[in-house]
Amino acid sequence: MDKYARMQRDLMLMEQNGKVSVPEPASAIVPDEKARLTFAVWGDPQIAYWSAFRSARFLAACRDLANCASPLDALILAGDITETGDASEYRMTAQILNDVCPNAFRHFLCVSGNHDVRLRNYRKQLSVFNDFIRSVPGGIPAGETRHCHGVQIKGYRFLLMGSDRATFEGAYISAKQLDWLDEQLTLCDGKPAFVVNHQTLHDINGLPQTWLGKGKWRGSVGWESDKLRAVLEKHCNVIFITGHLHYGVSAFTYEDHGAFKALSVPTVGVVNHGEETTDTQGYVLSVYDDHILARARIFGEGRYLDADRPNAEIVIPIE
């Protein structure tokens, strides 16, 4: 039996044993008609050929999307779609999305994480990654030579970053990519722009504590962190969305740094650290003319996080 067949069998066994939750349609996401744009963001599905638990969490979260009252403008995965970058893991991810919630979102955007690119030939893995994105309806792949690319949805720019080489834990953000980001943000001319990268910056979103306190630079982009920050700080209304930390919604999740706002999204597929350890956490963002509302949601349980929890509801000002 190959890896993919084993993954299917193991998930089916989880389902038969009642270990995959089924969110109630009654508490589904209802996109606000007054919002210009509504989308969901998940960090780190990290689907692994050896873990049916991750597939089960992802499946439960997808069921919540399937219940949506109307399609979201986008589903965004903020990196580490898979654990090892194996084709079987991407196939499983796509199969769940396509079987469970094929009509839940109009666009499917992904950035790669360190687990997607590590220990692999960069070009070949980029091709595998793009094939995966293409296999999901609404998927918008990157180009043939690098992960970073821009997508326009309803007049809003999404700038999807990605390491320019196969790094193990951080990311290598080349000068070329930094120049590209700067140019793209200049074109936005102050209109809200969503920059999605797998790793956050050095020393923000609770680092190093949110990486369980190990290592000065660990958990962040790495050596190019300050250069990336300098680009973000040149502009305004930049929403910088990241994953990687596997840290539940907390006081560290959102930070307003003036020019850019840093939103660190928990993992949807793996166990979250911190005070809020519930599985399948993520965010639903509704964009209005003068603000963005980001609501933390426990997708696998079909409910928003209690509003009294830190950063359960974030109002991001648009200046």
Residue found by looking up tokens 């003319």 in the block: 289
Q: Which residues pair with 82 in a beta bridge?
A: 47
Q: Which is nearer to Fe ion, 185 or 204 (CB)?
A: 204
Q: Nearest-CB residue to Fe ion?
A: 244
My answer on whether omega of the bond before 23 falls inside 30° of 0, hence cis, is no
| Near Fe ion by CB under 5 A: residue from 10, 64, 73, 80 | 80
| Near Fe ion by CB under 5 A: residue from 85, 113, 192, 300 | 113
In the complex, the smallest distance separating the C-beta of residue 80 from Fe ion, rounded to whole angstroms, is 4
Q: Which is nearer to Fe ion, 138 or 219 (CB)?
A: 219
Residue 197, interface with Fe ion (CB under 5 A)? no
Q: Which stretch binds Fe ion (CB under 5 A): 183-191, 206-214, 231-239, 241-249?
A: 241-249
DSSP string, 165-209: S--SSS----HHHHHHHHHHHHHHTTS-EEEE-SSB-TT-TTTTG
**Is the CB of residue 177 less than 8 Å from the CB of residue 146?**
yes
Q: In this structure, are strands 260-264 and 254-257 parallel, antiparallel, or unpaired? A: antiparallel
Q: Which is nearer to Fe ion, 55 or 114 (CB)?
A: 114
Burial class (CB in 10 A: 0-12, 13-18, 19+), 316: middle
| Near Fe ion by CB under 5 A: residue from 114, 125, 242, 280 | 114
- 242: how many CB neighbours lie within 10 A of its CB? 27
In the complex, the smallest distance separating the C-beta of residue 148 from Fe ion, rounded to whole angstroms, is 17
Q: Which stretch binds Fe ion (CB under 5 A): 63-71, 108-116, 123-131, 307-315?
A: 108-116
In the complex, the smallest distance separating the C-beta of residue 113 from Fe ion, rounded to whole angstroms, is 4
What residue ranges bind Fe ion (CB under 5 A)?
Answer: 80, 113-114, 244
